Amino acid sequence: MSNDNKNKAAESAAPASNFLRNIIDADLASGKYQREGLPSVITRFPPEPNGYLHIGHAKSICLNFGLARDYEGRCHLRFDDTNPEKEDQEYVDTIIDSVQWLGFDWNRADGSHLYYASDYFDTFYAIAEYLIQAGHAYVDSQSAEDMAANRGDFSRPGVNSPFRDRPASESLDLFRRMKAGEFQGGEHIVRAKIDMASPNMNMRDPAIYRIRHAHHHRTGDKWCIYPMYDFAHPLEDAIEKITHSVCTLEFQDHRPFYDWVILRAAEGGFFQQPVPQQYEFARLNLTYVVTSKRKLRQLVEQNIVSGWDDPRMPTIVGFRRRGYTPEAIQLFCERIGVSKADGWIDYSTIEGALRDDLDPKAPRATAVLRPLKLIIDNFPENEQIACSAPVHPHHPERGLREFTIGKELWIEAEDFMEEPVKGYFRLFPGNKVRLRYGYVVECTGFDKDADGNITAVHCEYFPDSKSGTPGSANYKVKGNIHWVNAADAVQAEVRLYDRLFTDATPDAGGKDFMTLLNPNSLEVIQAYVEPGMAQVEPDTRLQFERHGYFVTDRKDSQVGKPVFNRITTLKDSFGK
């Protein structure tokens, strides 16, 4: 490759710049995070193990692991498991599986970077004790109602708790007894001592520890006090020596407390400069999709879908079962980029990425989705003639698919019209079409049942018109239709998926997404596919010519008995 070409290749492979890359570039230039034995860029993806990951999380995963990859740093997968009541090992397992499937790895030459916030419970506790001793935190014994009333609101400053100035020794004693299990949930709470009049509600003495007599999926019954998210999260970042802590915009107002917690703990000798910095980006909103674990759970629990991995679900496991590739999701995340402005991404963007990824890869095949019998009346009885077609039109080296043609075929019902509309070039009485990869036929008639339904179409073929033979050039026809031979076609279940909601923004502006479900989001049909399809392994992606991209279902498909999911149509028909 010439130097010029090399540069061009490097340019097109270089990720698009964004405000985070600009910040990192500046930090690298100033040497801010030059630390002995550590990379200068350490990011993290910190899911709470309380549900399945969705396409919004994929944006965060691609962003954090992508930055680490591009800057030769590392990205930690950290389970933010500080809330025992909603968390479960099942979720830990699926999150690990989804991140790996997306193509990212937390194992590096310097070790494995899979972490659990629950492993830091002793450190969180020690820092809370330090804050109490240093006068930066106190045990509040107000009732929950009084605490809420005294917090004030946006127009009214809060009121100091009567317990705010109790001696540190008294707070410390109470905190230790909280830990020892002497109190019920809600009797006492530990709060940071900051400013009850702060215009930022997050700074009005936020809670940092609470009593919860709950079993934790990893620490069991060791603890009955648990740290609050806003206290634990910055400490997790600081413990892991994260450099750039990237989160979604709703945490912008939490950043002052994030900085406060780390700074106070650093004063107490728990951390050294340089400490992590939080940066916020706009979350992903995708049209026709809800991305909230709570709402997705509702769809599962009310049996609107068959489970978290239903191919209509915007979960990673759902996209995977639908047939999306990790490469397509990564491409989608690159294309949408990151910014600080909230907005909606059109669903066609992710379908476009899927098509761009699959078009060069997917082998071609034929399926007749709405079968109608075509009878070639002048075809020899009981004779099957061999035909073939390329596995991929642009890759002859990938070889040929073999199948046969005979007297009775299946064609698409829509490829025949008794009375053609203007511009219709497919089958109608008197018209000629090419049976793709086969012969030219002329339509001679059709059969109808007593109800007026067309039950079969009749035609005659021209024996010297076979595709790939010299005679084929003598026939000029406008229509070209696909078909399978009734004698060797395989019957298969095909699941045609459509959007789950009828509204582009189903949960925006106070709308109830449960009332906006698309009743036709799944149609199951029996189709005929070409004979080679009998051998297809589960989870195989291909293109059915003229129909779109399909995958053999990873759970329900078997060799010999294939079940196909439509991933997407060939052209953008979404929302039309």
Binding site for ligand ATP (CB under 6 A): 46-48, 56-57, 59-60, 247-248, 283-284, 291-293
Inter-residue contact 228 to 131 (CB < 8 Å): no
* Residue 431 assigned to a binding site: no
Q: Which of 397, 384, 371 is nearest to 438 (CA)?
A: 384
Residue with Cβ nearer ligand ATP (79 or 379): 79
Nearer to ligand ATP, 294 or 394 (CB): 294
Instruction: Tell me the closest approach of the beta carbon of residue 265 to ligand ATP, in angstroms.
Output: 21
As measured in angstroms, the least distance from the Cβ of 314 to ligand ATP is 10
- Name the residue type at position 418: E
DSSP 315: B
Residue 151 assigned ligand-binding role: no
Closest CB to ligand ATP belongs to which residue? 56
Active site (annotated) includes residue 422: no
Write down the catalytic residue from 21, 32, 35, 48.
Answer: 48
500 is in an annotated binding site: no
> Cα 539 to the chain's mean position, in Å?
17
Ligand-binding annotation for 57, yes or no, is: yes
Please, which residue, 16 or 29, has the CB nearer to ligand ATP?
A: 16
Q: Dump the DSSP string for 325-369.
A: -HHHHHHHHHHH---SS---B-HHHHHHHHHHHHTTTPPEE-EES
Q: Any known ligand binding at 50? A: yes
Query: Exposed (0-12), middle (13-18) or buried (19+): which is 36, by Cβ within 10 Å?
Result: exposed
Annotation says 283 is catalytic: yes
Whole-angstrom distance, CA of residue 394 vs CA of residue 397 = 9
465 has binding-site annotation: no
- Smallest distance, ligand ATP to C-beta of residue 339, A: 12
Query: In whole angstroms, how close is the CB of 95 to ligand ATP at the nearest point?
Result: 8
Instruction: Show the 3-state SS of 50-103.
Output: CCCCEHHHHHHHHHHHHHHHHCCCEEEEEECCCCCCCCCHHHHHHHHHHHHHCC
Cα–Cα distance, 187 to 3 (Å, whole number): 71
Query: Whose Cβ is closer to ligand ATP: residue 126's or residue 345's?
Result: 345
Shortest spacing between CB 408 and ligand ATP, in angstroms: 52
CA 65 to chain centre: 15
Q: CB nearer to ligand ATP: give 59 or 466.
A: 59
- Cα 349 to chain centroid, rounded: 13
Compute how many other C-beta atoms are within 10 angstroms of the C-beta atom of residue 232.
Answer: 26
Question: Whose Cβ is closer to ligand ATP: residue 137's or residue 232's?
Answer: 232
Q: Quickly list DSSP for 1-58.
A: --HHHHHHHHHHHSPPP-HHHHHHHHHHHHTTT-BTTB-S-EEEE---SSS--BHHHH
57/407 with CB nearer ligand ATP: 57
How many helices (H) and strands (E) in the chain? 13, 27
What is the nearest approach in angstroms of ligand ATP to the Cβ of residue 531? 44
Is 217 annotated to bind a ligand? Reply is no
* Cα–Cα distance measured from residue 55 to residue 344, given in angstroms and rounded to the nearest whole number: 13
List the catalytic residue out of 293, 355, 466, 554. 293
Cβ burial, residue 63 (10 Å; 0-12/13-18/19+): buried
DSSP string, 421-489: PTT--SB-TT-EEEETTS-EEEEEEEEE-TTS-EEEEEEEE-GGG-TTSGGGGG---SEEE-EEETTT-
Instruction: Determine whether the annotation assigns residue 56 to a binding site.
Output: yes
Residue 191 or 293: the one with the smaller Cβ distance to ligand ATP is 293
Query: With the C-alpha atoms ordered 439, 444, 450, 451, is the resulting torsion angle positive or negative?
Result: positive
Q: Classify residue 307 as left (phi > 0), alpha (psi -120 to 50) or beta.
A: left
Annotation says 293 is catalytic: yes
H helix intervals, 134-183: 144-150, 168-180
- In the complex, minimum distance from the CB of residue 162 to ligand ATP, in angstroms, rounded to a whole number: 34
For 31, other C-beta atoms within 10 Å of its C-beta total 10
Q: Which is nearer to ligand ATP, 60 or 431 (CB)?
A: 60
Q: Are 190 and 46 in contact (CB under 8 A)?
A: no
Q: Tell me: is residue 58 an annotated ligand-binding position.
A: yes
CB 204 to ligand ATP: min, Å? 23
Q: Is 49 annotated as a binding residue?
A: yes
Cα 423 to its chain centre, rounded Å, is 41
Distances (CA, A) of 104 to 66, 128, 338, 437, 517: 9, 35, 19, 42, 34
- CB 343 → ligand ATP: shortest distance, Å? 12
Q: Catalytic residue numbers?
A: 48, 283, 293
Annotated binding site for ATP: 48-50, 54-60, 248, 283-284
**Binding site feature residues:** 48-50, 54-60, 80, 229, 248, 283-284
* Binding site per annotation, positions for L-glutamine: 80, 229
